[in-house]
Structure 1
Amino acid sequence: MIHPAISLPRLIAHRGFSAQAPENTLSAVRAAKEANCSWVELDVQLLGDGTPVIWHDADVARCSDGRGALQDFNWASASKLDVGSWFGDSFNGERMVQLKTMLSLLDELDMGANLELKVNKGRDAIALVDRVIPMILDALPAERLVVSSFDLNALKRTRELAGPDRLALGSLFTSLPPDWAKRCQAVTAYSIHVHWPRLKRAQAQAMREAGYQVLCYTVNDPSAFEPHWAWGIKSAITDVPASFQRFLGDETTQ
């Protein structure tokens, strides 16, 4: 199967450089760029009014000065939230980011993105896909884009909207299920993204032999992860790319 000619880096900054700046913000992506990261991983959801935003949680409590479910906010109310002060005083006044704004920044910085379709409990996967995927396809070249999700319905609908030659899809798993191959085949996946502490060497080998790129999340200990590179892992999604860069040295971009 023909996929876009993607050149994944060894390191992908998780929610931007989220150890350096508040996650899923413009500041986090700029910090990743300044740290010589060429790719970031970001989460995409819809507000209650259908506005696509870069956000991970089902609510806003952890990463803002507000309270309430994300779906209960429209853009007028969400845009007033301070999403930076929880991280540090230097980020006071940081605002939630619309997808369109983030896509513009990624294009400006010539960065690649693993955009996760975040389908939290009770949310409509199809509505998310139908709103988000056309925007993404219009904004970024196929060579700098992977769309991933834990939600199989979201991935299936995405594949209906874009063939494998136009959009690379990543199947996300916490633990690799027995039917992983069937699930990946159903969406003509390009990559498999797994929680690294639960990954076994034989599983990594099987995925690689089946033709998939293997990405691991969220990897924040370069030394503990070191043996896994020999398993054929393509990329580590990490909060601390600078620590990895120091550990790997000249191997970082290989």
Structure 2
Amino acid sequence: MNIINFAHRGASAVCPENTMAAFRRSLELGATGIETDVQMSRDGRLVLIHDEELSRTTTGTGFIKDHTWGELQQLDAGSWFAPEFQGERLPLLEDLLELLQDRDTILNIELKNGVFLYPGMEEKVIALVRAYGLTERVVLSSFNHYSLAYCKSLAPEIRTGILYGEGLYRPWDYAATLHADALHAFHFAVLPEFVTEAAEHGVVYHPFTVNDPKRMAELIDAGVAGIITDHPDMLAGLLAARGV
């Protein structure tokens, strides 16, 4: 089985996270999947940024939801990381879908609708994924499991992944209640016997965020279907060495 090498927010160890520079670099470093985060602007555009608030990764302040796309696209989203990335802009979901449209890369879109619900986000994301013909290469994930259930009702053909921390009892049974396809668990919550039993119930694991090579190797041996990492080059090397 080919294990998906998901670059967490792109190649976020070497580029400013959730920028086109990070996404492009991750592909150069051997990523076979990309994980990104979606928030929504005041005028309904799907912006790729992790935080609800702007100040950590851009030159802006305040919440994404309170700014128009016209305002957001003026911000610098790269100089906080390193001077050479000055001028890097926030991307839209369309930008990443266009980059991946003619590739076989898997895209994990995390809906960041736990703090703000962003009414209409699910419909907008699904419409874009369908418009770009990527329904078979997308996984929708969220910590908002109501949203995941809603996504599945709108688009049963698109895979969904349940994001959670730890302590979820028999998560494969819980996944069945949402008709979810994958468990996006914090990696310390993933044991080999869990991976085996989940697979017997038709559910796969994509643990996050795994940056230690020893832990990567343990999860590869456990049989996970994908690993979310800030270091896709490190994971690519391990997978190549093991022939998986």
Q: Normalized against structure 1, the TM-score is what?
A: 0.88
1:224 is matched with 215
Alpha-carbon spacing, 1:29–1:109, altered in 2? closer, same or farther (3 Å): farther
Alpha-carbon spacing, 1:194–1:17, altered in 2? closer, same or farther (3 Å): same
1:55 correspondence with 2:49: yes
3-state DSSP of counterpart to 2:109: strand
Q: Distance between the aligned counterparts of 1:199 and 1:30, measured in 2?
A: 29
1:4 is matched with none
User: Which of 143, 168, 173 is matched with 2:159 structurally?
Assistant: 168
3-state DSSP of counterpart to 1:217: coil
1:22 is matched with 16
1:149 is matched with 142
Show CA shifts across 1:50-101 (max 9, x none).
1111111110111111111111111011111100001111110000111112
Per the TM alignment, residue 190 of structure 1 is displaced from its structure 2 partner at its CA by: 1.2
Q: Distance between the aligned counterparts of 2:174 and 2:131, measured in 1?
A: 27
Unpaired segments of 5 or more residues in structure 2?
none
3-state DSSP of counterpart to 1:93: coil
Q: Distance between the aligned counterparts of 1:193 and 1:21, measured in 2?
A: 23
1:240 is matched with 231
1:69 correspondence with 2:57: no
Q: Say whether the 8 Å CA contact 1:33–1:109 is kept in structure 2.
A: no
Q: Distance between the aligned counterparts of 2:103 and 2:58, measured in 1?
A: 26
- Residue 131 of structure 2 aligns with an amino acid whose one-letter code is D
Q: Distance between the aligned counterparts of 1:126 and 1:75, measured in 2?
A: 17
User: Which of 152, 161, 177 is matched with 1:159 structurally?
Assistant: 152
2:35 is matched with 41
Q: Say whether the 8 Å CA contact 1:58–1:120 is kept in structure 2.
A: no
1:113 is matched with 107
1:100 is matched with 94
2:181 is matched with 190
Q: Say whether the 8 Å CA contact 2:183–2:204 is kept in structure 1.
A: yes
- Residue 250 of structure 1 aligns with an amino acid whose one-letter code is A
Q: Distance between the aligned counterparts of 1:177 and 1:125, measured in 2?
A: 26
Show CA shifts across 1:113-139 (max 9, x none).
011111131x12542112221111221
Q: Say whether the 8 Å CA contact 2:15–2:21 is kept in structure 1.
A: yes
Per the TM alignment, residue 160 of structure 1 is displaced from its structure 2 partner at its CA by: 1.5
Q: Say whether the 8 Å CA contact 2:149–2:179 is kept in structure 1.
A: no
Alpha-carbon spacing, 1:237–1:76, altered in 2? closer, same or farther (3 Å): same
Give the percent of matched residue pairs that are identical in Structure 1 and Structure 2.
30
Q: Name which of structure 1's ranges 174-183 and 223-232 shifts more when overlaid on structure 2.
A: 174-183
- Residue 62 of structure 2 aligns with an amino acid whose one-letter code is G
Q: Distance between the aligned counterparts of 1:78 and 1:15, measured in 2?
A: 19
- Residue 37 of structure 1 aligns with an amino acid whose one-letter code is A
1:204 correspondence with 2:195: yes
Q: Distance between the aligned counterparts of 1:176 and 1:45, measured in 2?
A: 27
Q: Distance between the aligned counterparts of 1:142 and 1:135, measured in 2?
A: 10
RMSD: 1.9
Per the TM alignment, residue 248 of structure 1 is displaced from its structure 2 partner at its CA by: 4.0
Q: Name which of structure 1's ranges 33-42 and 107-116 shifts more when overlaid on structure 2.
A: 107-116
Q: Say whether the 8 Å CA contact 2:79–2:88 is kept in structure 1.
A: yes
